[in-house]
Amino acid sequence: MKIIVLAGGLCPERDVSLVSGAGICRTLLEKGHDVFLMDVFMGFPYDPNRLEEVFALPGHGLEIVDRIHTEAPDLAAVKASRPDQSNCFLGPNVIELCRMADMTFLGLHGGEGENGKLQATFDLLGIRYTGPDSLGCAIAMDKGITKHIFQENGVSTPKGVCIHKNKHKKSLDDLGLSLPVVVKPCSGGSSIGVYITHTQEEYDSALAASFKQEDEVVIEEYIKGREFACGILDGNALPPIEIIPKTGFFDYANKYQAGATEEICPANISEEISERMKALAVRAFHVLKLNVYSRADFLLDEEGRLYCLEVNTLPGMTEASLLPKEAKAAGIEYGDLCEWIIKKSLEERYAGERTESL
């Protein structure tokens, strides 16, 4: 197949996305596909009359990948480095090359790549892409909407509310909450901008910092507990994985720096808890109108209560990421997982269309 892997973009998870995209690109090349990795924002300036050559270029686009740094990237600097200085999210030749491909593999995380807008654009343009549809992505990306849907559909989640920066009542008493609380962006990812606050001063500071990033934030009760994730493939849960940061919680630095976190898969929990977690992950997947694949994040408190925090519609796809590790525990190797995602995406949306098969 001819495959474009889209990564990068203009969101705090840009570096993570590029590394995910590189892993996807390399393994699909090993599987015999014609693959090219492209930064969705930077695009790939090339002679428009010779775009077919791109799929056979020796570097396969991998030269754009560096590494995941300790801190989120400077997006203003990224934007300023684009040669054409355009504000368009889609860089040069992105649409043209994605149209030429048999499939566009979305290696994007967060931002415009995961909030449903890109998926809706591709739907209108007739571009085939991997992962959940635009509706599910839009719903799951908004943590306030997700929390409301969970509360209405029996998916246990921490008590909390979503507030707008122009809302006058921001005191915890008015919100029906008490310290400690978690303050986090409504539509962020990779735990960027997440604050655990224990004092009024910390709470006020976290609100101010969060509202610099987004107009809406989620305030929720702090649950002390063990951290887990549970991947879902086509409505079927994978073995849960436990995440044990050496310090603090599973924030941006702990997620992506080597040696910062211990991960155990399958998780060292009872079969009863494992089955409850998997059932909750599958229920969350369905009530959020998702398909193909995703990953749900959980907390398990000392009393054995489970809380679903959110569902990631385009979870990390480096070989060291949580979902591939869970898939491997279920007997699915990384390259086979990437091909499965393509196959299932084709079945979900494009079964009646002619395309080169895997």
Same domain? 214 vs 230: no
For the domain that residue 191 is a member of, what is the CATH number?
3.30.1490.20
- Same domain? For 208 and 279 the reply is no
Verify that 214 and 124 share a domain, yes or no. no
- Where is average pLDDT lowest: 144-148, 184-188, 276-280? 184-188
- 81 and 113 in a single domain? The answer is yes
**113, 175: one domain:** no
Please indicate whether residue 13 is annotated as part of the active site: yes
Give the C-alpha separation, 38 to 274, whole Å.
Answer: 38
| Residue 191 pLDDT | 53
Q: Which residue among the candidates 190, 210, 294, 345 is catalytic per the annotation?
A: 190
Do residue 185 and residue 246 come from a single domain? no
pLDDT over threshold 90, residue 3: yes
Feature table: binding site for Mg(2+): 297, 310, 312
Local confidence band at 257 (pLDDT 50, 70, 90 cut-offs): low
12: Cα within 13 Å, side-chain hemisphere: 18
| Confidence at residue 250, expressed as pLDDT on a 0 to 100 scale | 46
Per-residue pLDDT tens over the stretch 278-290: 999 999 999 999 9
List residues bridging with 5 in a β-sheet.
37, 105
Q: Please indicate, yes or no, if residue 205 is contained in any of the structural domains.
A: yes
The answer to whether residue 325 sits within a structural domain is no
Task: Please work out, in degrees rounded to the nearest 5, the angle formed at the alpha carbon of residue 223 by the alpha carbons of 200 and 257.
Answer: 95
**Residue 143 lies inside a defined structural domain of this protein:** no
Give the pTM: 0.92
- Eight-state DSSP code of residue 115: S
Q: What secondary structure letter does DSSP report for 129?
A: B
Looking at 221, 248, 271, the residue that finishes a domain is: 221
- Say which CATH number the domain at 240 has: 3.30.470.20
Residue 138 located in a structural domain = no
Is 71 catalytic? The answer is no
13 and 89 co-located in one domain:
yes
pLDDT at residue 149, as a whole number: 97
What confidence tier does 72 reach under pLDDT thresholds 50, 70, 90? confident
One domain for residues 56 and 117: yes
**Same domain flag for 115 and 164:** no
Select the more confidently predicted residue: 211 or 101. Answer: 101
Residue 251 has pLDDT above 60, yes or no: no
Among residues of the chain, what percentage have pLDDT more than 90?
A: 78
Question: Residue 242's Cα: distance from chain center in Å?
Answer: 18
Q: Are 237 and 299 within one domain?
A: yes
Whether 206 is covered by a domain: the verdict is yes
Is 110 domain-assigned?
A: yes
pLDDT at residue 158 tops 80: yes
Q: Are both 90 and 111 inside the same structural domain?
A: yes
Q: What is the pLDDT of residues 88-146, one digit of tens each?
A: 999 999 999 999 999 999 999 988 899 999 999 999 999 999 999 999 999 999 998 99
Q: Is residue 270, in this structure, part of any structural domain at all?
A: yes
| Mean pLDDT value of segment 21-30 | 97
Q: Quick one: pLDDT band at residue 253, thresholds 50, 70, 90?
A: very low
Identify whether 291 is part of a domain.
yes
Q: Which of 321, 326, 339, 345 is catalytic?
A: 321
Told to judge if 191 belongs to the known catalytic residues of this protein, a careful annotator would answer no
Tell me: the pLDDT tens digits for 297-328? 999 999 999 999 999 999 999 888 999 999 99
Following DSSP, what letter does each residue of 24-74 receive, concatenated?
Answer: HHHHHHHTT-EEEEEETTT-----GGGGGGGGG-TTTTGGG-----SS---
Tell me the CA distances in angstroms from 1 to 214, 242, 291, one per residue in order: 39, 35, 22
Residues 89, 14, single domain; the answer is: yes
Domain assignment of residue 174, given as a range: 159-221
Is residue 128 within 8 Å of 349, Cβ to Cβ? Answer: yes
Please give the angle made by the CA atoms of 129, 134 and 139, to the nearest 5 degrees. Answer: 140
- In the chain, the number of structural domains is 3
CATH number of domain containing 67: 3.40.50.20
